[in-house]
Chain A
């Protein structure tokens, strides 16, 4: 069936749930991503229960974070 994943048309098998789809896309740890199904956030505990249906729009984004503390020393010297 046809769905839209991150804005692009994709063909996936029927009865795929969101967790399965993420695994197929190489996301092993769901803590890494935030998911919206048709514009609504999906709780991480619900990812396996949400079965995808024809023409659903699924977007996932990776967690973005970090911090300047404990800067790693590297062999190569960059600007500053």
Chain B
């Protein structure tokens, strides 16, 4: 898994690439990266899954932990370009009721301003 960080209109965007799975944990996890941003005051975070092939429950745990951390600090964490399958899993687990998920990065970014 590779995670690249970029910024747009003071929104931190993490472009995630590859597979997010328990067996493939890198030195720095997604949650740690998010927490680092939160610690420096960046509370608007977008996770872009456009190049993610697979996410297992560990990966979902990372997303949720990131969400909780952001939420606890009054920030916003949004998701964009997740696969159909993951969306279906989020539907089934009711996570669509909690997480803010968007089809495209642009609409996700726009939504930060609407909130």
Asked if A and B are interacting partners, one says no
Chain B residues proximal to chain A, CB less than 8 Å: none
